[in-house]
Amino acid sequence: MKRFKDEDYEENKIENVNNHETTFSENIPYKRFQDEKKKDDFITPSMKNFRKIIGGLLIVFIAYSAFFQNNSDVTNYKSNLVSGKLEGVKAGDILSKDTVKLQAKDFSIDTANSYGKIQLSIWNFADKEDGDYVQVFVNGAPQTEPFVIRHKPTNVDVPDKGIIQVRGIRDGSNNGITYGLFFNKTGETYLNTVPLNADNTYTLKNTK
């Protein structure tokens, strides 16, 4: 008799547990709906409009920044470029959208102070890299191997007194070998062109 009672008790216990689980699981979606409704009630129409305005301003700002960045190089373009010293230009600046015809020139540069060493930077200032090659010499001796002139400057250490020569090695597009030359100690930039197998000479001297 006791065994039957125990079995009935266990069955009732299991049934109660199952009923409790069913009731609990059924209440979860209802509670989630209530929580979401509370969140929606908390966000007022004015807050929604404010979010829309902020989102619109962010989109406009991002679009303007992208447009300005894509067109920032245009502000660096210069017209009527000639061989010689150019103010306000640093190594790597893109100055021309088209191929520029310059005249080959030699220059004498007073470094004003004795630095021992000075660094020059050579780069292609035209919008398109066309595969021109040059080589740097110091007092007639090779200071570098032939290298291609790119938008990214090539830096070369040279004495602050002596004869610096830039020799034309290869004309990649048959439009002339043009380049920009920047001296880091003086802050001077020169634009020049060098004929194939010929030299531009930069005579460096200092008065101190």
Of 26, 41, 72, the position where a domain reaches its end is 72
More confident residue, 87 or 65: 87
Please tell me whether residues 89 and 137 are part of one structural domain: yes
Please tell me whether residues 104 and 197 are part of one structural domain: yes
Domain count, the chain: 2
* Whether the Cβ atoms of residue 125 and residue 179 lie closer than 8 Å to each other: yes
Instruction: Give the model's pLDDT for residue 73.
Output: 43
Q: How many CA atoms lie within 13 A of 198 on its CB side?
A: 14
Q: Match 């962010």 to its residue by tokens.
A: 58
Please tell me whether residues 105 and 138 are part of one structural domain: yes
Please tell me whether residues 8 and 83 are part of one structural domain: no
Please tell me whether residues 104 and 50 are part of one structural domain: no
Please tell me whether residues 91 and 49 are part of one structural domain: no
Please tell me whether residues 86 and 175 are part of one structural domain: yes
Please tell me whether residues 86 and 124 are part of one structural domain: yes
Q: What is the DSSP string of the chain?
A: -HHHHHHHHHHHHHHHHHHHHHHHHHHHHHHHHHHHHHHHHHS-HHHHHHHHHHHHHHHHHHHHHHHHHHTGGGGG--SS--SEEETT--TT---BSS--------EEEE-SS--SEEEEEEE--BSS----EEEEEETTEE-S--EE--SSPEEEEEESSEEEEEEEEE-SSSS-EEEEEEETTTTEEEEEEE-BT-EEEEEEE---
Please tell me whether residues 56 and 100 are part of one structural domain: no
Residue 27's domain comprises 2-72
Of 14, 40, 72, the position where a domain reaches its end is 72
Of 72, 102, 126, the position where a domain reaches its end is 72
| Average per-residue pLDDT for the chain | 80
pLDDT digits (tens, 9 = 90+) for 66-101: 554 544 444 468 888 999 999 889 999 999 988 788
Instruction: Give the model's pLDDT for residue 64.
Output: 60
Please tell me whether residues 35 and 84 are part of one structural domain: no
Please tell me whether residues 51 and 130 are part of one structural domain: no
Please tell me whether residues 95 and 180 are part of one structural domain: yes
What CATH number does residue 185 fall under? 2.60.60
Beta strand 84-86 pairing with 188-194: antiparallel
pLDDT digits (tens, 9 = 90+) for 152-169: 999 999 998 999 999 999
